[in-house]
């Protein structure tokens, strides 16, 4: 089941007015490779990323436990910041009935906080692997030029006039009212990159004072769908199974993202932005079904159980003599709905709510 390795960002809703994400481009982010030389090429302002806007809290939708890898890849700061996280109850950051900004909230948050990279860490610091459980929701934070222990002893209420200070991925917790956190999704897949700005008031607005990669990758809230394995998403692998090709891939038909308005132009662009190198016709040299001018991908039957692509509610079941046969709809409550067709049996009932992968 591919849901076990999907990590979803859920965008938090601030309870007070704060600054929005910084304007792009940034001075150095996003970054390919690793400042310690372990991953090459090392490239500043790498073009192999797309921004994830206004990310604040993070939910793990898998069942049971799984490990997440944190890789410290770059540090511009002179400050020795400490990076950590704490768990919250929902996407808005509530903890046990306390809302961000309520008296006692930070005390409750830091009672369950853990450090990922201690003060003084650099890109040469070993990667950290931590276990998380399904439905865990996190907020990230840094302690400015100090440690969590000293923060709790000297400024547990995060008073802007005292030191040390803490800055958070959840904007409403930042004492200076500034967004200190940015994120980028790798277009090659496999990880998401995050950066913190460590200076009070936004400072030099470079957001690369701590830069770290998280894998498996994160997904923004406007695309809260299961992260698919390479048999679906890597063209060179997926196409081998096209139309019974006998390979490991699960893709049956490829649709066009170059001109998705039903107009043909002789080219085919994949969902990840890659354009096939040569003009193609409707038969497609990579497989029998490539549709120039229509947006989407068909997956061939890969298991006896069809899994929901994202959390949602069943709102329609249909038995049709033509087209999709037995099929149903799931409303994901984020301006998206998905359709599941050619089903042998439908066990779900209308208005049933469920998580991704049910």
Residue 254 clears pLDDT 60, i.e. is over it: no
Residue 221 clears pLDDT 50, i.e. is over it: no
Claim to verify: residue 55 and residue 84 sit in the same structural domain: yes
pLDDT digits (tens, 9 = 90+) for 144-189: 999 999 999 999 999 999 999 999 999 999 999 999 999 998 887 6
Q: What are the CA-CA distances from residue 323 to residues 154, 255, 337, 340, 344 (Å)?
A: 67, 18, 18, 12, 14
Decide: 180 and 168 in contact? Cβ < 8 Å.
Answer: yes
Domain encompassing residue 323: 312-354
pLDDT digits (tens, 9 = 90+) for 58-84: 776 565 677 889 999 999 999 999 999
Claim to verify: residue 145 and residue 235 sit in the same structural domain: no
pLDDT digits (tens, 9 = 90+) for 323-344: 678 888 887 765 567 778 878 8
User: What total of structural domains would you count in the chain?
Assistant: 3
Claim to verify: residue 41 and residue 168 sit in the same structural domain: yes
Categorize the per-residue pLDDT at 215 as very low, low, confident or very high, splitting at 50, 70 and 90. Answer: confident
Claim to verify: residue 34 and residue 125 sit in the same structural domain: yes
Q: How far is Cα 225 from Cα 219, in angstroms, rounded to an integer?
A: 8
Neighbours of 222 (CB within 10 A): 12
Which pLDDT value is given to residue 186? 86
Residue 295 clears pLDDT 60, i.e. is over it: no
Residue 322 clears pLDDT 90, i.e. is over it: no
Which pLDDT value is given to residue 4? 27
Claim to verify: residue 33 and residue 79 sit in the same structural domain: yes
Residue 312 clears pLDDT 50, i.e. is over it: yes
Q: What number is the average pLDDT over the span 254-278?
A: 52
3 state SS of 169: coil
Q: How far is Cα 87 from Cα 94, in angstroms, rounded to an integer?
A: 9
Which pLDDT value is given to residue 311? 73
Which pLDDT value is given to residue 17? 36
The enclosing H or E element of 232 equals: helix 230-233
Q: What is the mean pLDDT of the chain?
A: 75
CA angle, residues 59, 167, 61, in degrees to nearest 5 = 5
Which pLDDT value is given to residue 20? 60
Which pLDDT value is given to residue 147? 98
The residue from 202, 223, 244 where one domain ends is 223
Which pLDDT value is given to residue 187? 80
Categorize the per-residue pLDDT at 350 as very low, low, confident or very high, splitting at 50, 70 and 90. Answer: low
Claim to verify: residue 282 and residue 204 sit in the same structural domain: no
Q: Where is pLDDT greater, at 2 or 116?
A: 116
**According to the per-residue pLDDT averaged within each range, which of 62-66, 235-239, 281-285 is highest?**
62-66
Categorize the per-residue pLDDT at 3 as very low, low, confident or very high, splitting at 50, 70 and 90. Answer: very low
Q: What number is the average pLDDT over the span 248-274?
A: 52
Which pLDDT value is given to residue 16? 33
Claim to verify: residue 234 and residue 347 sit in the same structural domain: no
Q: Where is pLDDT greater, at 353 or 350?
A: 350
Claim to verify: residue 143 and residue 278 sit in the same structural domain: no
Q: How far is Cα 313 from Cα 192, in angstroms, rounded to an integer?
A: 28
Claim to verify: residue 145 and residue 173 sit in the same structural domain: yes
Neighbours of 336 (CB within 10 A): 15
Q: Where is pLDDT greater, at 145 or 3?
A: 145
Claim to verify: residue 266 and residue 143 sit in the same structural domain: no
The residue from 223, 247, 271 where one domain ends is 223
Percent above pLDDT 90 for the chain: 39
pTM above 0.75, yes or no: no
Q: Where is pLDDT greater, at 89 or 247?
A: 89
Neighbours of 242 (CB within 10 A): 23
Claim to verify: residue 211 and residue 253 sit in the same structural domain: no
pLDDT digits (tens, 9 = 90+) for 82-121: 999 999 988 889 999 999 999 999 999 999 999 999 999 9
Dihedral pair phi/psi, residue 93, rounded to 5° = 90, 15
Q: How far is Cα 4 from Cα 307, in angstroms, rounded to an integer?
A: 12
Which pLDDT value is given to residue 163? 96
Claim to verify: residue 117 and residue 207 sit in the same structural domain: yes
Residue 42 clears pLDDT 60, i.e. is over it: yes
Which pLDDT value is given to residue 151? 97
* Half-sphere exposure in the Cβ direction for 109 (13 Å, CA): 32
Q: Where is pLDDT greater, at 314 or 310?
A: 314
The residue from 158, 191, 223 where one domain ends is 223
């Amino acid at each position: 089941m591919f849901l076990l390795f999907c990590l979803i960002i859920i965008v938090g809703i601030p309870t007070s007015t704060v600054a929005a994400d910084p304007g792009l481009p940034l001075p150095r982010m996003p970054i390919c490779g690793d400042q310690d030389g372990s991953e090459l090429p090392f490239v500043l302002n790498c073009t192999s990323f797309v921004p994830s806007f206004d990310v604040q809290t993070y939910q793990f939708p898998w069942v049971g436990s799984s490990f997440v890898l944190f890789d410290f890849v770059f540090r511009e700061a002179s400050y020795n910041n400490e990076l950590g996280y704490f768990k919250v109850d929902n996407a808005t950051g509530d903890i046990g009935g306390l809302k961000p900004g309520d008296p006692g909230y930070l005390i409750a948050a830091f009672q369950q906080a853990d450090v990922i990279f201690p003060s003084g860490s650099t890109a040469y610091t070993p990667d950290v692997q931590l276990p998380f459980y399904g439905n865990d929701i996190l907020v990230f934070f840094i302690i400015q030029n100090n440690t969590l222990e000293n923060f709790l002893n000297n400024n547990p209420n995060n008073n802007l006039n005292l030191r040390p200070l803490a800055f958070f991925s959840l904007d409403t917790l930042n004492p200076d009212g500034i967004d200190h956190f940015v994120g980028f999704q790798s277009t090659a897949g496999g990880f998401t990159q995050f950066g913190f700005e460590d200076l009070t008031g936004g400072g030099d607005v470079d957001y690369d004072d701590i830069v770290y990669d998280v894998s498996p990758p994160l997904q923004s809230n406007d695309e809260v769908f299961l992260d698919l394995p390479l048999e679906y998403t890597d063209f060179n692998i997926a196409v081998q199974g096209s139309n019974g090709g006998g390979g490991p891939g699960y893709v049956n038909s490829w649709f066009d993202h170059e001109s998705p308005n039903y107009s043909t132009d002789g080219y085919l662009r994949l969902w990840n932005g890659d354009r096939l190198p040569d003009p193609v016709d409707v038969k497609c040299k990579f497989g029998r079904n490539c549709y120039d001018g229509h947006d989407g991908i068909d997956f061939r039957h890969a298991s006896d159980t069809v899994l929901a692509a994202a959390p949602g509610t069943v709102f329609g079941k249909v038995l049709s003599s033509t087209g999709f046969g037995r099929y149903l709809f799931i409303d994901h409550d984020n301006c998206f709905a998905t359709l599941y067709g050619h089903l042998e049996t439908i066990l779900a009932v209308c208005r049933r709510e469920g998580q991704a992968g049910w």
